[in-house]
Amino acid sequence: MKIKDIFNSASRTFSFEFFPPKDEISAVDFGINVGQLLKLEPSFVSVTYGAGGSTQERTFTLVDYLQNKIGLNTMAHYTCVGSTYDKVAKDMNFLQNIGIENVMLLRGDPPKGSGTYIANPDGFKYASDLIQFVTRNKYGFSIGAGANPEKHPESASMEQYLNNLRVKCEAGAHFLITQLFFNNEAYFNFINRARTSDITCRIIPGIIPLTSYKQIKRFVDMASTSFPLELLENMERHQNNAEKAYQTGLDHAIKQCTDLLDKGAPGIHFYTLNKSRAAVEVFESLPKAFRTV
């Protein structure tokens, strides 16, 4: 089912994001995690696409499996790094032919070791170009795009970033999913500014339960996100106690999600890192009134 159509009957959606398993052991763990999530009846699940298309074959195989074998409503991530127009057309046709109705269209990060993004001369420079191409060629997908409540690190200002985001929506994006964040004030300030900038589509908050102190630097580097001082202090205090660190991050995520939903957020997109225990615990800890979509 197209995600944009789900919005017509659901004021909130709950979704979970995976990446393709890299080996047999990871595949077993992944299978266990998918089994845990099946009982939650998510609105949709999504599968990431490696830098420069490095996991394309595994991504496409996994979205086919989740959609057509497991029966989960599945969204395929797709980036245009290094891709030509012809390759994108071929890939979109493939996804269409296997019954995928939802895509998350992204520019993608520069390849490892490269500090800047360089577009293929026969490809796309921006995510908005990719979105426009897919929309113009009428593949019929429900299209999602990325957003960062604390702006993209390559943008000079929030004003510039919001202008770029509006272009994505005008190009054909039906909804946005945010990068991970830990400070709800940043999300709600972003929503207010987005609406003022004529960005009207649904903006779903992306949440990841922090489960260890060592993740903090990784998430700062990954999403340029900020952390509430209390969370930082508590995680640092328990950095050598795995269970207490896990519970500290879990408690913050539960509080964060409850506050988001209480103040009108249109659901939650959980970044699972293929380890669904924390995401499942957060979801099941939410008041039942919020979990009724």
Can you tell me the distance from the alpha carbon of 66 to that of 31, in angstroms, rounded to the nearest whole number?
11
Classify each residue of 172-205 as buried b or exposed e, where b means 16 or more C-beta atoms within 10 Å of its C-beta: bbbbbbbbbbbbbebbbebbebbeebebebbbbb
CA dihedral in degrees (222, 225, 228, 233; nearest 10)?
30
Can you tell me the distance from the alpha carbon of 279 to that of 275, in angstroms, rounded to the nearest whole number?
8
Residues 56, 49 contacting (CB under 8 angstroms): yes
Structure tokens given for 4: 């944009």
Helix or strand run (H / E) with residue 44: strand 44-47
Strands (DSSP E) contained in 167-263 are 175-180, 202-207
Torsion over CA: 55, 58, 203, 221 (sign): negative
Query: Pairing mode, if any, of strands 102-106 and 142-147?
Result: parallel
Strand partners, 70: none
- Residues tagged active-site: 17
